[in-house]
C-alpha cells in the first residue's frame, strides 16, 4: 500500500508543479524555452506564479542583480552553476535564514530558471530545518552531498532535471553507515510541507 501511495504522491506533485509552471508561463507571457529577463523584478514575479508555496519568508536576499561576494566567487569558480543558496550563521550557529542568488546563465530559458529555483528552495528548507545547529555541519562534504541529494531528488520528481544521475547506487548506503545518517531523511524534499501538502483539485493551488 505504501508503494502505491508513494507513487500517487509523486504523480500528483509532478502534475501540480507542472500545472503551476505552465499556467504561470501564460500569466508571464512566455514559453518554457524562452530566454527570460535577468532582473529581480522578474524573479519575484516568476516565483509567485511557479512556486507560490515555496518558503520565501526565511530568505534575506533573492536576487540576480545584487549578488553577494560569496555568490560571485561561487559563480566564478564554476560558470555552469546557475544558483546558490548561502546559509546565515551567528556565533557559530545556523540561524535558519539564507540568501539565494542567481547567475545570468540561469535565465537562458524559463524551464532552466524554474528548475534551478525549485532546487534552491529545497536548500532554503534544509537550512531552516538546521536552525540552531553548529555551522560547522555545513562544512562537512558529506553533509553537502546529502543536501544536494535532497535538492536534485526534487528536481527529478517534478521532471525538470535528472541530476540524480550524479549519485551512484552506493550513496544511500554510504550515508546510512556514516555519522550523518540521521540527516538522510530530514534533508530529503519529502520532509518539507510545501513539496507534499497538496490540494489535488485543478489548478493544484
Mean pLDDT of the chain: 88
Q: Is 11's pLDDT higher than 60?
A: no
With bands split at pLDDT 50, 70 and 90, how would you rate the model's confidence at 162? low
Question: 168 or 199, which is more confident?
Answer: 168
> In this structure, is residue 145 part of a structural domain?
yes
> In this structure, is residue 203 part of a structural domain?
no
Q: How many residues does the chain have?
A: 205
> In this structure, is residue 202 part of a structural domain?
no
Q: Given CA atoms 19, 197, 117, 141 in this order, what sign does their dihedral have?
A: negative
> In this structure, is residue 201 part of a structural domain?
no
> In this structure, is residue 153 part of a structural domain?
yes
Place of cell 560547522: 136
Lowest-pLDDT range of 3-12, 20-29, 189-198: 3-12
Q: Given CA atoms 168, 172, 175, 177 in this order, what sign does their dihedral have?
A: negative
Helix or strand holding residue 62 (H, E): strand 59-63
> In this structure, is residue 31 part of a structural domain?
yes
User: Which of 60, 37, 171, 192 lies closest to 108 in space, CA to CA?
Assistant: 37
The model carries a pTM of: 0.88
> In this structure, is residue 98 part of a structural domain?
yes
Count structural domains, the chain. 1
Helical packing angle, 110-129 and 2-28, nearest 10°? 130
With bands split at pLDDT 50, 70 and 90, how would you rate the model's confidence at 99? very high
Helix or strand holding residue 13 (H, E): helix 2-28
Kindly give, in sequence order, each residue whose CB lies less than 8 Å from that of residue 91, ignoring residues fewer than 6 positions away. none
With bands split at pLDDT 50, 70 and 90, how would you rate the model's confidence at 15? confident
**CA pair distance 36, 42, nearest whole angstrom:** 8
Render pLDDT for 48-75 as a digit per residue (tens, 0 to 9): 999 999 999 999 999 999 999 999 999 9
Q: Is 109's pLDDT higher than 80?
A: yes
Place of cell 545570468: 104
Helix or strand holding residue 93 (H, E): strand 93-102
C-alpha cell at 125: 528548507
Full residue range of the structural domain in which residue 154 is found: 2-196
Per-residue pLDDT at 2 = 40
Amino acid at each position: 500500500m505504501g508503494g502505491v501511495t508513494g507513487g500517487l504522491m509523486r504523480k500528483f506533485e509532478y502534475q501540480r508543479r507542472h500545472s503551476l509552471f505552465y499556467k504561470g508561463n501564460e500569466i508571464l507571457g512566455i514559453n518554457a524555452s524562452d530566454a527570460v529577463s535577468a532582473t529581480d523584478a522578474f524573479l519575484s514575479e516568476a516565483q509567485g506564479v511557479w512556486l507560490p508555496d515555496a518558503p520565501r519568508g526565511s530568505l534575506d536576499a533573492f536576487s540576480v542583480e545584487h549578488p553577494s561576494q560569496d555568490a560571485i566567487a561561487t559563480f566564478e569558480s564554476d560558470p555552469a552553476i546557475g544558483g546558490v543558496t548561502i546559509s546565515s550563521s551567528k556565533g557559530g550557529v545556523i540561524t535558519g535564514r539564507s540568501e539565494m542568488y542567481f547567475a545570468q546563465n540561469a535565465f537562458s530559458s524559463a524551464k532552466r530558471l524554474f528548475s534551478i529555483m525549485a532546487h534552491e528552495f529545497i536548500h532554503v528548507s534544509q537550512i531552516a530545518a538546521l536552525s540552531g545547529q553548529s555551522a560547522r555541519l555545513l562544512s562537512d562534504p558529506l553533509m553537502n552531498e546529502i543536501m544536494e541529494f535532497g535538492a536534485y531528488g526534487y528536481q527529478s520528481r517534478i521532471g525538470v532535471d535528472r541530476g540524480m544521475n550524479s549519485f551512484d547506487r552506493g550513496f544511500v548506503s554510504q550515508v546510512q553507515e556514516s555519522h550523518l545518517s540521521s540527516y538522510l531523511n530530514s534533508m530529503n524534499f519529502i520532509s518539507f510541507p510545501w513539496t507534499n501538502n497538496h490540494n489535488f483539485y485543478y489548478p493544484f493551488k
